[in-house]
Amino acid sequence: MTNWFQTDEAYDLFAQCGDFEVVRVSSECWVCQVVVSGAWWCRRGIVQGGVAQKNDVVDLPESHQKTDLSNLLGEVRAVCMNKHCVYVEIRNFDDYAAFKETFSRAGFTYNPHYDVHLHIASQDEMVARMHESKQRALKRALAEGQTWREAATEDDIRAFYALLKSLYRKKVKRPLPSQDFFLQAWRQGVTVLVTEQNRSITGGVLMPVMREKNVAYEWYICGGVMSTWAMMEWGSMHGISMIDMMGAGEPDVSYGVRDFKLQMGGTLHEFGRFLWINNNLKYRLGKLVISHL
């Protein structure tokens, strides 16, 4: 597997939560996990992290791999039709340029989309890479007594979730899993960091870690500079080489989240996403509703 979202750990988390239904699709050379969620008008299948190439078949001819990938994508479409998904989106964490034509022939449209990687180094090096405004913000937060730690109790998770829910309702305006999902993730061992000031939780981050590759993932976060710094400092303390800060919007579209991630020292990558629409009418309806939230 190339990233955490393709692992058994991720599968178990989604499978144990009532917010989602997860289906693992496998062929000779490839495997992926389709996470299904949403109401009838916006039911979707998401393949977070892209499709994974099995380690024991990388030496097979590329033509064979492409044929087998086409078979896998056909199975993904069948799963989403069976689950009455409006669409399926494959969100890549790696470069699939060599297989774009295969995705296209299978009915998947490529849409450019950014990702941000933040490479972990010593604390001094990481601060030096930050934009001056973010250096000042971090210095101010520390001077005000803000700290971070790993979540230790369910109350920590509930306090973090309340802040996250408020952020998503007021600004992000996108679906957010239930509090039970975050509790289950924490119970299962997914790292959760929280930030504090005067003994009150001010932010946090749900951060899966793939130990085999020393990579952590910024999945759900709130709290500004201090929450991102918590990930960076935790990573430096625990031998993490890189934090995948995940989605950073589309090219040529202004996006403040992308600007923030880059100003914290991240580097931009364009791995894109593949989209297959099962129901055009519902898809257009869903986009219209979301645009007016």
Q: State how far the Cα of 182 lies from the Cα of 163, in Å rounded to an integer.
A: 13
What's the pLDDT band for 56 if we cut at 50, 70, 90?
confident
Q: In the chain, what are the domains?
A: 4-113+271-291 (3.40.630.30), 115-268 (3.40.630.30)
pLDDT of residue 58: 67
pLDDT tens for 131-175 read 999 999 999 999 999 999 999 999 999 999 999 999 999 999 888
Cα–Cα distances in angstroms (integers) from residue 81 to residues 28, 51, 139, 165, 284, in the given order: 22, 19, 51, 31, 17
Residue 293: pLDDT above 80? Answer: no
Question: What's the token pair of residue 222?
Answer: 């709130």
Give the pLDDT band (50/70/90) at residue 70.
very high
Per-residue pLDDT tens for 72-88?
999 999 999 999 999 99
Q: Strand pairing partners for 65?
A: none
Residues 9-47 have pLDDT tens digits of: 999 999 998 889 999 999 999 999 999 998 887 899 999
According to the model, what pLDDT value does residue 291 have? Answer: 61
pLDDT tens digit string along 189-207? Answer: 999 999 999 999 999 999 9
Q: What is the pLDDT of residue 276?
A: 98
| Pair of tokens at residue 130 | 């930050």
Is the CB of residue 277 less than 8 Å from the CB of residue 285? no
Cβ–Cβ < 8 Å for 258, 245: no
How far is it, in rounded angstroms, from Cα 10 to Cα 77?
A: 21
